[in-house]
Structure formats: C-alpha cells, structure tokens
Structure 1
Amino acid sequence: MKPKWKRNLLIMCISVIIIVLVGLAAGWLFTEKERREARNVQIGEVDFKQLHAGNYVGEYAGGMYKWRANTVQVTIAAQKVTAIKLLEHAENQPAASTEELFGRVIQAQSLQVDSISGATLTSKAYLKAIEDALDQAQR
C-alpha cells in the first residue's frame, strides 16, 4: 500500500492538470468566434485606376472583440498607392511584418496579396483598413 501523502500528491497533480486543460479549452472556445469572423473577412476588389491623389485614412473595427482594430493612412499619387502608414493598432504585430504587407500592396497595386505567414488574421484586418481608405480615394 502506498503512503497516503503519495496518493494525495498524485490526486492533486491530476486535479491541477484537469483544471489547466479545462481552462485552455474554455479559452479556445471563447476566442473561436473571433478567429472565425476574422478568417471570413472578405477583401474587396478596388479599381486602382479610379484613385484620386491625396492622403486617406482608413479604419477597420477589428471584429467582435476589437482585437484587430487598426487605422492606416494611405497616400495616393498619379493613381498609385505610394505609401501606407499604420496610425493605430490593437495588436502587438512586429513592425517588419506590417511593413512587408504594406510593401506587397504597394508593389502589386492590389489588395489581393499574400498575407504575412503567422499573421494571416491581422494581415486581413490591415487590408480591410487599406480597403476603407481606397474606397474613399475613389469618391
């Protein structure tokens, strides 16, 4: 027969593991709706030939929990996007990956660009804010 303290220790360890697993599952379920919403965000087609010169500010509300809310400034010259600047954002996304995404949009003169690996949902949020700014530039 095992000593009582070993049995109690085993029960306590199993209890802690179960509590941690339940907490992780609850957190995953809580955030799934937000992730699903972000995955389903559609980036519209923008006719870059209809853009008017100027600086335009675009926003994306960030989904149901506002985790990916952001504001960008898009500069248009000669019907081309020449610069994109991130003004505000809710996520701590590395500046290099944000600049890489913005560079892809400027290079392609399109919103139909590959997202940043490991930051697909955040990339879509930034593209939605750019789309908002470009919609204004078409008016």
Structure 2
Amino acid sequence: MKSRWKRNLLIVCISVIIIVLAGLAAGWLFTEKEHREARNVQIAEVDFKQLHAGDYIGEYAGGMYKWRANKVQVTVTAQKVTAIKLLEHSKNQPDTSAEELFSRVIRAQSLQVDSISGASLTSKAYLKAIEDALDQAQR
C-alpha cells in the first residue's frame, strides 16, 4: 500500500515538473520573437542640422506584440533638440529610464546614444519614436 502511494506521489511530482518546464519553454518561445525583433530594430542617422523649429509628435508601434508602443513629443529650437517628453507608453506608468535616455539624445544631438542598461529594448523603442518625430522636423 505504501509503495503504491509513493509511486503515485512520484508520478504526480514528475508530471508537475514536466508541466512547469513545458510552460516555461512555451513562454520563452513566445517572448523570444518579440525580443529578436526589438534587438534588430535599426535607428537611422538623423541630420540634426536639417531640423526645423517646432514641436513634433513621434510614435513607435511597439513591435509584434505592442509591448513597447510609445509616443513622444520632441521640441526643436534653432536646429537642436531641446526637449523630449514621453506622452504615452504601453506600461502606462512613469518610466525613469526614458528621462535618462532623452537627456543623452539632447546632450549628444544624436540618436546614436548608448541605451539604458537593463532597458535596451525599451530604449530602442523610444529612439524609434524620437526618430519618427525628427523625420517630420526635417520636412
């Protein structure tokens, strides 16, 4: 009787472990496509000397699952980006990494800046929205 109970318990434990591992593998595969897409996003070179003064709204759709969708407002004065404001993002909560990234863009007057450590994929999404705004500022 005890050996049957132990055998059944072992079968249940092994089954639970297999189910958990299968769930983890499925979750990793699901998110890997999004991460691969985000890693491969290219940030274009923008000629900041061609920018026209004004406020411009830029958006990035956020990739296949829209996890990094965002909207920014970029202010250009005298062919320089002077302010960047995060208007919307998919998390709908304050994002402190965005402020540091925006400061880097303003200091460098370039989109070719280092991403925020631990938020490199989100940084690329913000840079794509800024790129969209600056494309409008060049017209």
Residue 63 of structure 1 aligns to a residue whose secondary structure is coil
Percent identical pairs in the alignment equals 86
Q: Is the counterpart of residue 72 in structure 1 residue 66 in structure 2?
A: no
The Cα offsets for residues 65-114 of structure 1, whole Å up to 9 and x where unpaired, read as 11111100001111111110111111367522110011110111100000
Separation of aligned partners in 1, 2:118 and 2:93: 10
- The aligned counterpart of 1:103 is 103
Q: TM-score, normalised by structure 1?
A: 0.94
- The aligned counterpart of 1:58 is 58
Q: CA deviation at 1:4?
A: 2.1
- AA paired with 1:116? I
Give structure 2 stretches of 5+ with no counterpart.
none
Question: Which 4+ residue blocks in structure 1 deviate beyond 6 angstroms?
Answer: none
- What is the count of residue pairs matched by the alignment? 139
Residue 27 of structure 1 aligns to a residue whose secondary structure is helix
The Cα offsets for residues 23-72 of structure 1, whole Å up to 9 and x where unpaired, read as 11011112221111111000000001111111000001111111111100
- AA paired with 1:132? D
- The aligned counterpart of 1:8 is 8
Measured on the aligned residues, the alpha-carbon RMSD in Å equals 1.5
Give structure 1 stretches of 5+ with no counterpart.
none
